[in-house]
Structure 1
Amino acid sequence: MTQIRICEEADWPAVWPLLRATFEAGDTYAFSPQSTEADIRAVWMEAPRATYVIREGQGPVLGTYFIKPNQPGLGSHVCNCGYVVAPEAQGRGLASAMCEHSQREALAMGFLAMQFNLVVSTNERAVSLWRRLGFDVVATLPGAFRHQRLGLVDAFVMFKTLAG
């Protein structure tokens, strides 16, 4: 059974290797591949409103996501999330489960919409999943992502209204 719950301090030693491997690849997130553990911990664990982990039963942490306001003040009704799934667990519906969970959590926290600020255009699996879950590409940012293998590639801003 898949379980999504709040990320606890004791989960960090399992979460950090997932994030490090994802960010070092330099093909989906804007974080520098040279980011330190302290830098990423601050962004993933300390700054968000909440951080979650996903597991199957009592097994290892297979993914994580955070939720936070996309902007302060007058833009704080729109949230932003980031999702990471362990490479060995990809293709099992975990990102979809986390995104659906995050939308319910966002509504419970009072957010009215969700925005992804920098979805790398070459990350076709993510773009397809977010579209399937109701997100629209509302802007294309030409050459906005410095892909570690492909050079400059476009990035998308994706948006979904959660409540009216």
Structure 2
Amino acid sequence: MNIRTATAQDWPSIFPFWSEIVEAGETYVYPLGLDSDEARTIWMEQPPGRTVVAVDGDEVLGSAKMGPNRPGRGAHIATGSFMVSPGAQGRGVGRALGAYVLDWARGEGYHGIQFNCVVESNVAAVHLWKSLGFEIMTTIPEAFDSVSHGLVGLHVMYQKLGE
């Protein structure tokens, strides 16, 4: 598996799993029913952010986007979002993308990294982020309407990067 900067030519491979994951209604707060152009605007980051893909040969296994969590006086804290193609789950793609984003944020000089909306019923993601050093700072109760679990909390997770 290789992780590299995503290009416009990667989007047709990203959008099918991006759409499948969003439409499943279990992990992302993005609006439902977005077309490819609308979704691309959300996912493909512009500088100072970055979007990457994890690939095995020509197959796109997953993608991550990263950048400052907030503009201006909050820009010293990074954030990231991750999607792994359902067909590639269980192959370490999420962990590899998570480690990549942490290394990127450290290399860019961010003080910390914050995930604003980790759905508490997404136990695999919560476990992964904890194993990579994130802490749950708070949980907003009933902030996410999960298709299968109803109203569940959204964790704000954080990891300090700088000294």
Structure-2-length-normalised TM-score: 0.95
Post-superposition shift, 1:47? 4.5
Structure-1-length-normalised TM-score: 0.94
CA distance in structure 2 between the aligned counterparts of 1:159 and 1:45, rounded to whole angstroms: 23
CA distance in structure 2 between the aligned counterparts of 1:110 and 1:35, rounded to whole angstroms: 34
Q: Could you say which residue in structure 2 is the equivalent of 1:52?
A: 52
CA distance in structure 1 between the aligned counterparts of 2:33 and 2:105, rounded to whole angstroms: 31
- Calculate the aligned-residue CA RMSD, in Å: 1.2
CA distance in structure 2 between the aligned counterparts of 1:11 and 1:37, rounded to whole angstroms: 12
Q: Is the 8 A contact 2:109 2:162 kept in 1?
A: no
Q: Is the 8 A contact 2:141 2:153 kept in 1?
A: yes
CA distance in structure 2 between the aligned counterparts of 1:112 and 1:43, rounded to whole angstroms: 24
Q: Could you say which residue in structure 2 is the equivalent of 1:121?
A: 120
Q: Could you say which residue in structure 2 is the equivalent of 1:96?
A: 95
Q: Is the 8 A contact 2:82 2:94 kept in 1?
A: yes
Residue correspondences, number: 162
Q: Could you say which residue in structure 2 is the equivalent of 1:33?
A: 32
Identity of aligned residues (%): 37
- 5+ long unaligned stretches in structure 1: none
Q: Could you say which residue in structure 2 is the equivalent of 1:159?
A: 158
* Residues 35-65 of structure 1, C-alpha deviations (whole Å, 9 max, x = no match): 2222211111145610000012x14000000
Q: Which amino acid aligns with 1:158?
A: M
106-115 vs 68-77, which moves further: 106-115
